[in-house]
């Protein structure tokens, strides 16, 4: 029994060491600087049990809003579903995430506002919010874990960086927002406008 | 006898004439050497090293920056594949310009390796009615979907078979590349490509000095010259160093996926195993390694 536990501990440690080694190995091999990484301080690294290392950027909080308990410790929790008017009314205004059936305390924990809460009652840190999303969007979570839904950056044969669901989808209004497109290509009929800028260009 | 004499004098005259023409044209020895450079695939390691050192010096002189020109060969056991989620792409063209910057495409005259085609949902994939010049305030537009097209990295590429000088070929990792020093600019490959994925430098490519990418590969994004054909290489300078292509990293909706087709645990294999995929112009038997899929 004791022996078994030992093995259990050694294996993940070896695994981590291997992942670390292969990453640093790839980086040094390639000439690309590891500091190219988009991950910054405050980064959370999760392991999903497989060989994949899951590095996630810190959750995108509105500035000055976290920790929530700074305000909420002095406020008596009110479990009744209602329209918020005094504070967080900006979120009420945009809330569009099955708003007919859900409201704040379906995801935020009533007693500890610095935590999210699964349907099971289990508390969850904001860094693990993807698990909360996955309660309903299980198929998306599965695709995200293998890198098919959402964006992966980094190394195709090494360390990958993930974004959380909430980096692209506002959890209170998750539909992906329209973007301004980059300019269209020059039309073929306009190409004759091109004139070499220097004499040398013209000659070549 | 008379006949022989005239032939001899003809040969003598022609060799004298060409020698003097060469001397008069002001060709430096270096340029001559370049003219007689061998095909990249037949160069020895030593010759490659020399060639690259020369190129780096040439680019430094031209752009006042230190260049790194890699000749890194394919990684063993890799066959690159690409998948693009048609159900996610919103047509924002971020990929087009990320590609231009990464791969040193000419800004003037403009060259884009990626064309984002706007399609009518009613018509489905219909190239004849697609629009590459769409320009609304915001995308996606209602009733439309978007289909970015770039080099499909065919397993049986037509572009390489028609090249009369073998200046373009498929590498062991599946990337179709061009040796710009060897290309004669006949544009047969452009005519052969059913995807419009090859582009010609009709004029001297112009790139602002401050925007030039100095991390390059000989077969990829090194600065090109007038009169050669170029195309998407899956960002050969990045992917052979383990990185994702530039268009994958920029895509704001995560529609672009890349990986090793020979690795059963790669995301590209997951897509092929679990999603509905299609390739463009399947009937031509080009067998692209660029797949389109439906993530939802």
pLDDT at residue B11, as a whole number: 86
**Contact in structure between B266 and B129 (CB atoms under 8 Å):** no
A108 occurs within a structural domain: yes
| DSSP letter for each residue of B65-103 | S--EEE-PPPPTT--EEEEEETTT-----HHHHHHHHHT
Residue A6 counted as domain residue: no
Q: Residue B29's Cα: distance from chain center in Å?
A: 30
- Alpha helices, DSSP H only, in chain B? 2-24, 29-35, 45-63, 94-102, 158-162, 188-192, 236-239, 246-250, 267-274
Residue A21 has pLDDT above 70, yes or no: no
> A81: which DSSP letter?
-
Site of tokens 């995301």: B267
- Total domain count, chain A: 1
Read off the pLDDT band of A64 (50, 70, 90).
confident
pLDDT at A45 over 70: no
Q: Do the strands B68-70 and A160-162 form a parallel or antiparallel pair, or are they unpaired?
A: unpaired
* Predicted confidence band of residue A41 (pLDDT cuts 50, 70, 90): very low
Structure tokens of A157? 């044969």
Q: Which domain holds residue A159?
A: 57-176
Provide mean pLDDT across the span B23-44.
78
In a domain, A89, yes or no: yes
Question: What is the predicted pLDDT for the residue at B143?
Answer: 97
CA distances from B120 to A183, B107, B127, B144 (A): 20, 30, 10, 5
Domain boundaries, chain B: 1-36, 80-294
Q: Would you call A29 and B242 a contact, using CB atoms and an 8 Å cutoff?
A: yes
Q: Considering chain A, what percentage of its residues have pLDDT values greater than 70? A: 66
Residue A78 has pLDDT above 60, yes or no: yes
Give the pLDDT score at A10.
54
For A131-175, how does the pLDDT look when each residue is reduced to its tens digit (9 = 90+)? 999 999 999 999 998 899 999 899 999 888 888 999 999 999 999
The predicted pLDDT at position A193 comes to: 59
- Residue B8 has a pLDDT of 85
Contact B243 A184 (CB under 8 A): no
Residue A1 falls inside a structural domain: no
- CATH code for B80-294? 3.30.70.20
Query: What's the rounded Cα separation, in Å, for the pair A171 and B212?
Result: 39
Where is average pLDDT lowest: B9-23, B200-214, B262-276? B9-23
Residues of chain A with C-beta less than 8 angstroms from the C-beta of B96: 182, 185
Q: What is the mean pLDDT of residues A25-50?
A: 40
Average pLDDT, chain B: 94
Please, which pLDDT band fits residue A39 given cuts at 50, 70 and 90?
very low
Q: Residue A195: its chain B contacts at CB < 8 A? A: none
Cα–Cα distance between A185 and B132 in angstroms, integer?
A: 8
Render pLDDT for B108-157 as a digit per residue (tens, 0 to 9).
899 999 999 999 999 999 999 999 999 999 999 999 999 999 999 999 99
Question: B133 vs A149: CB contact, 8 Å cut-off?
Answer: no
Three-state secondary structure call for residue B200:
strand
Nearest to B260 among A143, A156, A168 (CB): A156
Interface residue ranges in chain A relative to chain B, Cβ cutoff 8 Å: 26-27, 29-32, 51, 143, 146-158, 168, 176, 178-187, 191, 194, 196-197, 201, 204
Q: Give me the mean pLDDT over the B72-88 stretch.
A: 97
Residue A103 lies in a domain: yes
- CB-nearest to B241 from A32, A51, A185 is A32
Contact criterion met (CB < 8 Å) for A158 and B242: yes
Q: What is the pLDDT, as a whole number, of residue A83?
A: 87
Nearest to B296 by CA among B157, B160, B145: B145
Residue A106 lies in a domain: yes
Reported confidence tier of residue A16, pLDDT bands at 50, 70, 90: very low
* Separation of alpha carbons B281 and B122, rounded Å: 19
Structure tokens at A89: 């009314």
Residue A87 falls within a domain, yes or no? Answer: yes
What separation, in Å, do the N-terminal and C-terminal C-alpha atoms of chain B show? 84
Report the pLDDT value the prediction gives residue A63, as an integer from 0 to 100.
84
Contact B132 A185 (CB under 8 A): yes
């Amino acid at each position: 029994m004791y022996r078994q536990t030992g093995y259990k501990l050694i294996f993940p440690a070896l695994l981590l060491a291997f992942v670390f080694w292969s990453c640093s190995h790839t980086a040094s091999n390639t000439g690309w600087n590891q500091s190219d990484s988009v991950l910054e301080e405050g980064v959370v690294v999760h392991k999903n049990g497989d060989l994949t290392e899951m590095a996630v950027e810190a959750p995108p909080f509105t500035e000055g809003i976290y920790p929530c308990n700074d305000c909420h410790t002095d406020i008596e929790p009110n479990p009744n579903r209602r329209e918020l008017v005094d504070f967080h009314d900006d979120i009420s205004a945009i809330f569009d995430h099955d708003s007919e059936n859900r409201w704040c305390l379906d995801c935020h924990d009533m007693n500890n506002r610095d935590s999210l809460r699964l349907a099971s009652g289990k508390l969850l840190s904001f860094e693990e919010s993807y698990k909360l999303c996955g309660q309903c969007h299980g198929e998306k979570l599965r695709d995200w874990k293998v890198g098919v839904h959402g964006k992966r950056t980094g190394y195709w044969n090494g360390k990958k960086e993930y974004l959380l669901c909430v980096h692209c989808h506002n959890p209170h209004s998750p539909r992906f927002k329209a973007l301004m497109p980059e300019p269209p290509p020059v039309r073929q009929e306009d190409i004759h406008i091109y004139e070499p800028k220097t004499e040398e260009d013209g000659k070549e | 006898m008379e006949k022989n004499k005239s032939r001899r004098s003809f040969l003598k005259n022609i060799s004298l004439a060409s020698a003097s023409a060469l001397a008069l044209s002001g060709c430096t020895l270096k340029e001559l050497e370049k003219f007689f450079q061998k095909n990249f695939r037949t160069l020895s390691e030593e010759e490659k090293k020399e060639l690259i050192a020369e190129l780096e010096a040439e680019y430094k002189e031209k752009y006042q920056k230190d260049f790194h020109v890699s000749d890194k060969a394919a990684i063993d056991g890799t066959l690159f594949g690409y998948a693009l989620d048609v159900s996610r792409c919103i047509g924002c063209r971020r990929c087009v310009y990320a590609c231009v910057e990464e791969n040193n495409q000419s800004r003037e005259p403009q060259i884009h390796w990626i064309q984002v085609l706007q399609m009518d949902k009613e018509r489905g994939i219909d190239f004849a009615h697609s629009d590459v010049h769409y320009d609304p305030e915001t995308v996606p537009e209602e009733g439309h979907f978007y289909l970015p097209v770039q080099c499909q990295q065919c397993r049986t590429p037509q572009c390489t078979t028609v090249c009369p000088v073998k200046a373009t070929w498929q590498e062991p990792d599946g990337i179709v590349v061009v040796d710009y020093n060897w290309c004669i600019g006949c544009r047969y490959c452009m005519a052969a490509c059913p995807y419009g994925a090859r582009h010609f430098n009709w004029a001297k490519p112009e790139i602002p000095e401050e925007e030039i990418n100095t991390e390059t590969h000989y077969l990829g994004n090194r600065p090109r010259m007038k009169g050669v054909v170029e195309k998407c290489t899956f960002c050969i300078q990045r992917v052979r160093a383990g990185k994702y292509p530039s268009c994958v990293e920029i895509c704001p909706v995560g529609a672009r996926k890349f990986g090793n087709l020979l690795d059963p645990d790669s995301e590209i294999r997951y897509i092929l195993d679990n999603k509905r995929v299609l390739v463009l112009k399947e009937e031509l038997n080009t067998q692209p390694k660029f797949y389109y899929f439906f993530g939802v």
